[in-house]
Amino acid sequence: MKITVMTADEQILSLDVDPHETVENLKALLEVETTVPLQQQQLLYNGREMNNSEKLSALGVKDDDLVMMVSHAASSASANDLSFKPDGSAVNPGAFQQHIRRDSNLIGQLFQTDPELAQAVVGNDLNKLQEILRARHQQRSELRRREEEEIALLQADPFDVEAQRKIEAAIRQKGIDENWAAALEYNPEGFARVVMLYVDMEVNGVPLKAFVDSGAQSTIISKSCAERCGLLRLLDQRYKGIAHGVGQSEILGRIHVAPIKIGNIFYPCSFLVLDSPNMEFLFGLDMLRKHQCIIDLKENVLRVGGGEVSVPFLQEKDIPSRFLDEEKYSKQASSSGAAGKTETTENANVQSGGQPSGGARGDVTQRPDFEAKVAKLVELGFAREMVIEALKLCDGNEEQAAGILFGG
């Protein structure tokens, strides 16, 4: 059969060889053709080095195939390309990347031990690869520095108070590192980002991605979303107020009832309208209770009406990126003054009143009938602190406070 051999200086040779010939005999033939000693030759087929004892047929070499030949001198130059700079980055990142790619076993081990570096190697961003190599070098340097400090501490004066303090800190850090390593091995999912629970719903016939949040007191819709759903005409502005969480957002009013479609069934729903640009629609605890919803994390579904309909929670790829962009959420929340991040919304305590918030009011807690009203509402199952806050917002109006506690 005929094969083509390309040398390091781009000389191309066409040779007739027996398929059952050994690589060593091929090198002897090439020594005659190129004057490169057999011992200095390195032959590569499909990126893999050919060993002297192997036969060409066993390596899969066929008629008209190409074999690369480099000398040891060229190999040493290649070794320089695979070296590293003092900061840990590769001298020749392209050559380093290709060298790793050619070794399938090494790539497989890399995906197990350092997936981030493996992704950079198989990717096309050499700058990202260099950044990761520098970071790994810095981590190794930090580890060596800490080990040297530990050795120095072990040799320090046992009566030196400062040395003992450092030893204590080193022991504590070692415990933390061991705990982290154990978590990484036995509980790796703990390091993954938790995607919040979203389902597909329709509000007044408009499809939405609804955030299901059992930690939020009320169901919330943003002003822009309510406008898109054609519901702003039903906004009752008597229920203005402030939604408190880690931050706060203005309650523009309340929509007392509107149809929402979950699965193929319609349900009546009421919600507060917030001036919050970063939370479109939040399905809160009030409606979860009203419609006897079950958050089934085993089956990854939301069951509504005691199980008469089930809808799956959305996968991350199906959730709009603006809902998942935490940095953007944080900026929006800080600019709007609203408790807009998902984490803060979970613990939001939504407060509203039958009249606009603010204005001068007397201390309702000092009124003679205040404790009686508190006791009556607490008997209905509400926390005392929540009852007091509701009565304060409503200027002691028991009926309005009850309306807030039951529906608001």
Q: Considering the candidates 125, 213, 275, 369, report the single residue annotated as catalytic.
A: 213
Surface-to-core class of residue 298, CB atoms within 10 Å of its CB (0-12 exposed, 13-18 middle, 19+ buried): exposed
Concerning whether 213 is annotated as a catalytic residue, the answer is yes
Surface-to-core class of residue 55, CB atoms within 10 Å of its CB (0-12 exposed, 13-18 middle, 19+ buried): middle
Count other C-beta atoms under 10 Å from residue 5's C-beta: 21
Q: Find the farthest-apart pair of alpha carbons in the chain and give their distance in angstroms, rounded.
A: 114
CA torsion 320-324-327-333 (nearest 10°) is 80
Distance of CA 204 to the CA centre of its chain: 33
The length of the chain, given as a count of residues: 408
Nearest to 300, CA basis, from 199, 192, 201:
199
Count other C-beta atoms under 10 Å from residue 138's C-beta: 12
CA-to-CA distance for 245 and 196, rounded, in angstroms?
18
CA-to-CA distance for 380 and 369, rounded, in angstroms?
18
Active-site amino acid positions: 213
